[in-house]
């Protein structure tokens, strides 16, 4: 089959600058929308999935499997677990057993302000750095016990709605009726910890007047999950449940499934609107050329050749819009911090997201051109030649 020159498709785009602009902007908006939705969903998923280490097991209160924050267990569980379970990883005599308190507390940037946001405060000991190796201190130092010091995750200020400056090292934050001095900042890429505030376990327990901890996180060495599970099941007095850390965050991913569905549904519906707009634009573009379509067929061009030329035309416009969207997405969206009920995470422009956005934009171009092309080409040639 002989095709029409690509030049013909390209120059047809110039016939109506307004229509071209509409096609390009339409494809751009749809691609941007899909990019954003995908970056959001994937950023959220990754922060949850990335939070759970495969080797880690969490010991928490029986019945609180869905939320560490609601769990309360005896502070002695850490030492009992370390003593009873064999094969927990250790380094230089220090076992990878991290007792932790997780509390979602209202935090303010100034002493008397009433506007506050719930932030997850994690009370930690030195072992926390062992079981959470993702955590790297990027500014200042780790908080020391007894001085009401804290350390902030890289996205914690977003979570609190504060500027980065208001949450920098040297400033103070306020919760549990005290001022806490920021002495360091840490980065734990792609995990929920990035939106948290860390402080020494004892200081948090004193401030919150609690004598229980939330959980014990331990890292398996030679031991298996079954060993930890057996410990939890035999020590009925401690009322414990053992849960692989990855499973804990995995169930959070499942918990957010409706949210993700809503995001995709919304993106899909708006993209569909874009598609109908695109259909309209392309239909107007092609219908004004019906007589030309008849002429090209009279020369001997097949309907398929003409359809391909129209598809090229539509795809070129869509590709321009999609590329603009991709560049804009990379520059504006990648890493952009967003806040949701459970914490904060960065939007993620990965290959999958980029492919989805590009695919959506190009698909819009292709599908948008198809029905108008079919309609215009179905007309018998004599009728087409008579068209105005």
Q: Binding residues for another protein, per CB under 8 A?
A: 2, 4-5, 7-8, 11-12, 14-15, 291-292, 294-303, 380-382, 385
CB of 278 to another protein, least distance (A): 21
Nearest to 366 by CA among 324, 331, 317, 297: 317
User: What is the closest distance, in whole angstroms, from the C-beta atom of residue 381 to another protein in the complex?
Assistant: 4
Nearest to 289 by CA among 146, 191, 387: 387
Q: To 10 degrees, what angle do helices 225-234 and 77-84 make?
A: 120
Q: Which long-range contacts (CB under 8 A, 24 or more apart) does 348-352 make?
A: 348/39, 348/42, 348/43, 348/46, 348/190, 349/35, 349/39, 350/42, 352/38, 352/42
Report the distance separating Cα 193 and Cα 138, nearest Å: 14
Are the C-beta atoms of 357 and 35 separated by less than 8 Å?
yes
Output 192 or 320, the one with its CB closest to another protein: 320
Q: Which is nearer to another protein, 212 or 298 (CB)?
A: 298
Nearest to another protein of 254, 374 (CB atom): 374
- Residue nearer to another protein on the CB measure, 168 or 302: 302
Exposed (0-12), middle (13-18) or buried (19+): which is 90, by Cβ within 10 Å?
middle
Q: How far apart are CA 104 and CA 238, in angstroms?
A: 24
Residue placing its CB nearer to another protein in the complex, 54 or 299: 299
Q: Which of residues 5 and 170 has its CB atom nearest to another protein in the complex?
A: 5
């Amino acid at each position: 089959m002989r095709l029409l020159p690509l030049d013909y498709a390209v120059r047809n785009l110039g016939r109506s600058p307004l229509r071209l602009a509409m096609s390009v902007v339409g494809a751009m908006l749809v691609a941007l929308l899909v990019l954003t939705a995908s970056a959001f969903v994937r950023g959220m998923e990754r922060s949850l999935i990335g939070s759970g280490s495969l080797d880690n097991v969490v010991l928490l209160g029986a019945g609180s499997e869905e939320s560490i924050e609601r769990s309360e267990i005896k502070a002695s569980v850490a030492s009992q677990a370390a003593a009873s379970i064999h094969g927990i990883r250790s380094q230089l005599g220090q076992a990878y057993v991290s007792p932790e308190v997780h509390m979602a507390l209202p935090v303010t940037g100034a002493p008397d302000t009433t506007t506050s946001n719930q932030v997850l405060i994690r009370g930690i000991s030195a072992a926390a750095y062992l079981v959470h190796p993702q955590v790297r201190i990027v500014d200042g130092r780790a908080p020391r016990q007894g001085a009401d010091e804290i350390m902030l995750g890289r996205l914690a200020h977003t979570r609190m709605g504060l500027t980065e400056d208001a949450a920098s090292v040297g400033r103070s934050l306020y919760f549990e009726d005290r001022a806490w001095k920021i002495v360091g900042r840490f980065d734990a890429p792609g995990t929920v910890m990035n939106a948290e505030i860390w402080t020494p376990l004892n200081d948090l327990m004193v401030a919150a007047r609690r004598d229980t901890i939330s959980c014990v996180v331990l890292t398996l060495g030679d031991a298996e999950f079954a060993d930890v599970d057996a410990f939890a099941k035999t020590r009925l007095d401690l009322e414990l449940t053992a849960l692989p850390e990855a499973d804990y965050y995995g169930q959070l991913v499942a918990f957010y499934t409706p949210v993700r569905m809503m995001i995709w549904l919304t993106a899909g519906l708006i993209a569909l609107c874009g598609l109908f707009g695109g259909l309209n634009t392309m239909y107007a573009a092609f219908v004004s050329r019906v007589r030309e379509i008849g002429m090209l067929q009279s020369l001997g061009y097949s309907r398929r050749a003409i359809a391909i030329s129209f598809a090229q035309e539509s795809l070129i416009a869509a590709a321009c819009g999609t590329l603009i969207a991709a560049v804009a997405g990379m520059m504006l969206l990648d890493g952009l911090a967003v806040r949701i009920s459970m914490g904060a995470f960065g939007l993620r422009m990965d290959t999958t997201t980029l492919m989805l956005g590009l695919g959506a934009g190009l698909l819009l171009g292709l599908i948008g051109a198809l029905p108008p092309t079919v309609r215009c080409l179905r007309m018998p040639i004599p009728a087409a030649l008579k068209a105005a």
